[in-house]
Structure 1
């Protein structure tokens, strides 16, 4: 196996993955060191933590380079007198004290891993983009020379593909292979004593992964009971709250579409529940909600469904119309947008853009190049507003949040404060307004932050009351509560391991109850009661898994050979995962057999219940109830803990310090730019936006004669564009260098990723921009080739194994995105069209990313890295990686002993880059 020429040790692709591996391992080690011992590691970051330069030979050179070349030069921090950094160290110390280690929910642990992994991968991506081999820099020049030939691939095709992509909300949405729609509403009349009462039932239609279609009628309260049941069954997940009923005056104006907002909101709620995890859509509770007591629609109900379908189609057409208009505008402005992008990617491009904002007072006076960009931006912003507040199933909830926050904001009071001529009095007034606690009551800032989470805390407290009643043993409940609020040293004595642990594991509950350090002490009977419940539940879970596997084997067998003899097996409450088959008769036979077996088991259970003197079954639900009680107490404690951290002690000092840091440079700009009037412009925009949303809802009946929602939103954005640009112009016009420094700082980040240097360097002989490059081929020859041909061959094998590994990880991520979109188990009726549309959208996203970033100096491997992070942001992936593992299915990083020996020399190879940060 040879490289591109006889003198190369590895191919260019292999070199890239060897470089990526070394960077990943070294950066991960530095982050772990910072996490384990932040106080001893902070001086190695340099800057204000190492004023005497005592740690020039840093143990964290990669983090030190980023800190000294990007973080410390941030314009707002350069003028700081050094008071922030000591307070930041104190804040980290206080944070460590508050995190008392009572355990973490599984979902929270996954969230922390996601955050850590994304941060690590982002840093690695920055370095892989910045540090290129000599061969890669040569390839960049060739790619840039071909750039003009690639520009014939216009953005119009991307816009059209986006418009045709599968919807992310609405009746056609497929989530984990299941399609759910609240298709209609029927009114049921019931006579109570004397008067006759009416109530609405929502018609929920669904298509499961096996193609089974059902329609059921559910009242609004049953959605809440579903929420409670799922929380009890899956305490490790946090489910969204069901939406409250929409008042009649806020509902649809169409008489024929009564409670339309409730219908759409509940559909969005079911979609959000299904998105929590793949196992939710196959759980017995969720499937029972979708399929139990199925109904056949009457003529009147079918008519209502038809009306609602027309409304859904109307909303989707409005959204598609927006997408088509944006795509058309992009096509018209393609040449201008291309010029803007090319100019921004050149050195000083961002500065030139903002210089135009400083020079031209009116948006209509801007050069045509920038005017078209604003026009395109208006259409995109209007389309986003339409989706968030009208087209989305969560539109009603989003509007409620907007109204709530809008009402709480004291615009007029803030306007009066901002009009104060004394800048320091202005800031004091703002701080007092938000942080003052009159008569010991909560401050306005606390109220604004807590108003949206107070409802959740109230729900948790209600759950605790219900759980304690179901458990029926106050001593058990008190022990759980006392553990959650126990001191840190007590918790450490129970769980000595300092690493975070999953508190939702069943064994943890028993360990807590048995701990002698927590009061009250329990007797043997209470402990045995919990232990028996745990053992019985574990047996049931094992048996359930066995039955599901047996059902899958039986169905596959029947689908392949329909004439084989039947095997007897009991059913479980969990629906089996069915597989597609071209034989409809075999599939029908297998399904009928499954239903027959379920009916037989239900009859057997009914007979057993009727037999007297049956021994009492262990309380297998007790351990689940205790687990849910523990998790609920932890959630309340976490919210209380964070609120206390935000508004007490050193956090408040840091908050004030940050205000001072950001305020002092901006105070003159604020005063000259007339921010007070701009604040009232924001209020006016919010007022009109709420009216537009309500008007769009009133017009949302699919009939003609009314202005389209597209027109309403677009006119709103265009109306307020001059006010927005006036503020932008005023801010930049009064700038005394602050924004110029900010732009230079931002361009330094772009320069680092493009060239390897934080500041642009020019070869004055040729006039070309200097780009950092390493001779990785010579490096490998010097450190591996000296060991003989055997070492070289082993290096090639290890490099190839790394290449295969990273490609497998990328394929895994792509497959996970497909599964999140439901493409792996979509039903036969709609799966192919959904798969084609979503696959096309993903393909176009990737091609667009490559085209957009090619001019930035990125190569195919860099785009692959960006694609990986984009996959995780799109599907919420990457959070289940364990140490030493990548992606799902536990793909192990291959052993590469020869490459591992290069870690130290590789850092030495990069020393010229690290020292450039101090020049």
Structure 2
């Protein structure tokens, strides 16, 4: 029955009205964000961009226009510039770049299928964040009633149990690394490197040409001793599991591999799976120069040769070296675990041969190797305990901080300017010891968080050594003295401006005295060949050319060795797909969605791409691809490697073609003047205001202090990583890193105080006020609700009342059921303990830090707690992997969407025009 008056909308419950408003705002935001891919989007937004449209931006894109004008354009680092500079930045720099960029067909994540740059996920998260903001700012007639209702208990939101300051060591650490590893699986496979096996001359009393009974022949037998190719092998524990009658059964075996075999594995995988290895997996870790472990007699660094250090007897005296190649062991373990995340790799013959061929039983490890295994377990346990120590100390500080924070939260809710008051306290003293109790406790918390982060990143993870080596190298090569001289004796503003000019000036006009005429001519010749306009674009174009060359090699390999010539028509269709325009790409994606079909299969079969599949043979080949794709989908559970190979190779060819297309487009982008202009003006607009203040604050003095801090930091991390990590207990490691921040905190606070005093442009105060604008926007409905209220029943739209309620209730039901699924997922995850000790520590960090906010009353800011949880669920959903519980949740979410009766949204959508018109009026008049 159609209702022409829409009076029935007044009879909606507060919850129904809330879900209706949320849907309508989501519909508006989705439509606006979709418009952002248009080349003329800046004209649609209007001010601060130039436009020839007679309509206001609020009429076309009300939500985006409001956010742009009140928050983006008013960001202090931009707004502190003159009106002319701001106008030129938006209209003459940003707008031409957006028009140029949106005119290019950059691929989306559906095509790239990678974890690197997920455009769709970014848009989805951005949409969810904007929806959370506007859903909290804009209200309906019964919105405040809904906010004050206890429609869901806090326990129903899926949050973890309440924080306890008394952390349990047993809950965070494991008694046996083997058991802990059996809880972390990728595709029912768990890998750990548990020990090192010494071989050849490294074993005391063993001839260098002897052959161990457990390993294949690797040395040439000779009448005279010969140097072995390697002195140690990594003992890898491989654990598989299989579900039988709802319970997992585990099997475990061991395999010994030396480093060269890891290199061979990488080389073979790159040839067998070029697309996966080049786009998903990082390079094999290199050997570390200082990785000889430690001696159990003395703490001094062993200065003897590596071969001697591996021996159990040196100069006739007993000296056992422990944890040899520990850094490389952890790095290689991380590499193997990364490989195990990809079903294409896990079920390939190359990888299976590596982790299975020549396997042996744990009992075949010698007493020395078993002792090595025990030592490495103990070392990992110590690193875990150190993280727990950081958490304990942080928890103690948070208990004190929370007491002060509780009153602060109430003040912030009632008076957003409270933040400005806290900021003003910084100007009263440069000594942190003379600050308010709240700031002193906050300072302690920040130091602990920073120290814990440094430990986790540079000392405790499998790839920590690689990160530490990179930072040490950068620190060693960075020209601190040169930069200090520039900051002290010159005008930094002009120096950076000249450097930017040098990098971005057109190459044909470049003339540098230190360059000879030959170098200058060579530079111009390179620029001419690459089409680069300046030095910066030349650098990036050359890098992109290297990538393009690599992609061409991979495509040739796939075409010539992996795909038969009889599939040429499908390869041609893939190549054609990369050249079609946006309209065709969108149509193909819609077709894929409507058919519930894999996007690549749609690309290979759609009538929108030529050449068409007309012959019986073409259609037969396509059916083979479909069967292969079905096998590929089951690859995570089954080992249909041969059946899935065809689809896998086509998919890799598609992925590399997409990346090649993107590289070509970005190469073209770097050749165009819009990007150059954007970079230059962006640096100037953001850099100039900040640099003016830093110059007044004697930044050269602070920079020298920063150098001293970095010297101390790199020195301390290196000492701990190279030797002390083997001797220090958990509290000692914690204390040394914490003391480092204690030593340098006065310098930091003095600089912060000086910045406050010298900031006569109030740049940083403006940043605090900018943050307060968000709080003000959230609070408007409590003191002037009519300015942010939507009247959902104001239009005469002839809505079918019965169908409308079905559509509305269906969407509300879907949302509530999704929340319930996530709640169950978190409960199961917490109860089963199906996670590693490191996973538990990471989740405990979140719990520790969440305690800082306590029972934050989001309703005091007008934010519905369930909406916040829903936003968190979205982030969690995007990060779901192939863990058993995560796969179950993904399947349940899929089944939920599939099984719920879909009534569509036709009647709900009839309110869109009215909502858009009201939003235009409402946001135009809304002043923050």
TM-score, normalised on structure 1? 0.73
Which whole-Å deviations, capped at 9, do the CAs of 1:802-825 have from their partners, x for residues lacking one? Answer: 211112333455677799x7999x
> Counterparts in 2 of 1:99-498, with a 5 A limit?
99=105, 104-107=111-114, 111-137=118-144, 157=164, 160=167, 164=171, 172=181, 174-176=184-186, 178-189=189-200, 190-192=218-220, 194=222, 195-197=226-228, 198-210=230-242, 211-214=249-252, 215-227=254-266, 232-233=272-273, 235=275, 238-250=279-291, 252-253=293-294, 255-275=321-341, 289-297=354-362, 298-299=365-366, 300-345=368-413, 346-422=415-491, 424-431=493-500, 439=520, 440=523, 470=561, 491-492=579-580, 496-497=584-585
Residues 35 and 41, structure 2, Cα contact 8 Å, conserved in 1:
no
SS at match of 1:207: strand
Query: Which of residues 10, 15, 18 in structure 1 aligns to 2:17?
Result: 15
Gaps of 5+ in 1: 1-5, 148-152, 518-523, 553-571, 576-617, 757-767
> Counterparts in 2 of 1:642-681, with a 5 A limit?
642=666, 645-646=669-670, 649-681=673-705
Between the aligned partners of 1:493 and 1:428, the Cα distance in structure 2 is: 39
Residues 198 and 232, structure 2, Cα contact 8 Å, conserved in 1:
yes
- 1:314, CA displacement in angstroms? 0.9
1:692 aligns with 2:716: yes
Between the aligned partners of 2:234 and 2:165, the Cα distance in structure 1 is: 38
Residues 588 and 603, structure 2, Cα contact 8 Å, conserved in 1:
no
* 1:761 corresponding residue in structure 2: none
Residues 12 and 136, structure 1, Cα contact 8 Å, conserved in 2:
yes
Between the aligned partners of 2:667 and 2:9, the Cα distance in structure 1 is: 62
* 2:910 corresponding residue in structure 1: 901
Between the aligned partners of 2:445 and 2:113, the Cα distance in structure 1 is: 43
Shift of the 413–540 alpha-carbon distance from structure 1 to 2, 3 Å rule, reads same
> Counterparts in 2 of 1:847-862, with a 5 A limit?
851-852=855-856, 854=858, 855-862=860-867
SS at match of 1:132: coil
SS at match of 1:186: strand
Shift of the 120–178 alpha-carbon distance from structure 1 to 2, 3 Å rule, reads same
- 1:330, CA displacement in angstroms? 1.3
Residues 669 and 675, structure 2, Cα contact 8 Å, conserved in 1:
yes
Which whole-Å deviations, capped at 9, do the CAs of 1:72-114 have from their partners, x for residues lacking one? Answer: 2223333342112232222123324554779942337982211
Between the aligned partners of 2:816 and 2:269, the Cα distance in structure 1 is: 37
1:34 aligns with 2:36: yes
SS at match of 1:191: coil
- 1:428, CA displacement in angstroms? 2.5
* 2:5 corresponding residue in structure 1: none
Query: Which of residues 751, 774, 779 in structure 2 aligns to 1:749?
Result: 774
Query: Which of residues 61, 68, 83 in structure 1 aligns to 2:88?
Result: 83
- 1:499, CA displacement in angstroms? 6.1
SS at match of 1:419: helix
Between the aligned partners of 2:50 and 2:262, the Cα distance in structure 1 is: 54
Residues 243 and 266, structure 1, Cα contact 8 Å, conserved in 2:
yes
Gaps of 5+ in 2: 1-7, 155-159, 201-217, 243-248, 296-320, 508-514, 528-533, 593-597
Greater Cα offset, 374-383 or 731-740:
731-740
Between the aligned partners of 1:915 and 1:493, the Cα distance in structure 2 is: 36
Between the aligned partners of 1:140 and 1:516, the Cα distance in structure 2 is: 57
Residues 140 and 857, structure 1, Cα contact 8 Å, conserved in 2:
yes
Greater Cα offset, 76-85 or 43-52:
43-52
Between the aligned partners of 2:233 and 2:292, the Cα distance in structure 1 is: 16
* 2:100 corresponding residue in structure 1: 94
> Counterparts in 2 of 1:412-811, with a 5 A limit?
412-422=481-491, 424-431=493-500, 439=520, 440=523, 470=561, 491-492=579-580, 496-497=584-585, 505=600, 539=627, 573-574=639-640, 628=652, 631-632=655-656, 634-635=658-659, 638-639=662-663, 641-642=665-666, 645-646=669-670, 649-699=673-723, 702-703=726-727, 708-736=732-760, 737-755=762-780, 769-770=783-784, 779-780=792-793, 791=801, 795-811=804-820
Shift of the 222–9 alpha-carbon distance from structure 1 to 2, 3 Å rule, reads farther
SS at match of 2:861: coil
Shift of the 773–92 alpha-carbon distance from structure 1 to 2, 3 Å rule, reads closer
Greater Cα offset, 663-672 or 728-737:
663-672
Which whole-Å deviations, capped at 9, do the CAs of 1:596-640 have from their partners, x for residues lacking one? Answer: xxxxxxxxxxxxxxxxxxxxxx99968865764564465456456
SS at match of 2:855: helix
Residues 155 and 330, structure 1, Cα contact 8 Å, conserved in 2:
no
**C-alpha RMSD over aligned residues:** 5.2
Between the aligned partners of 2:555 and 2:51, the Cα distance in structure 1 is: 50
SS at match of 1:180: strand
Residues 58 and 923, structure 2, Cα contact 8 Å, conserved in 1:
no
Between the aligned partners of 2:240 and 2:812, the Cα distance in structure 1 is: 38
* 1:763 corresponding residue in structure 2: none
- 1:504, CA displacement in angstroms? 8.8
Residues 106 and 504, structure 1, Cα contact 8 Å, conserved in 2:
no
Which whole-Å deviations, capped at 9, do the CAs of 1:326-383 have from their partners, x for residues lacking one? Answer: 1122123331233444444532122122212223222222122211110111011100
Between the aligned partners of 1:675 and 1:140, the Cα distance in structure 2 is: 48
Which whole-Å deviations, capped at 9, do the CAs of 1:570-615 have from their partners, x for residues lacking one? Answer: xx7459xxxxxxxxxxxxxxxxxxxxxxxxxxxxxxxxxxxxxxxx
Shift of the 243–856 alpha-carbon distance from structure 1 to 2, 3 Å rule, reads farther
Shift of the 531–707 alpha-carbon distance from structure 1 to 2, 3 Å rule, reads same
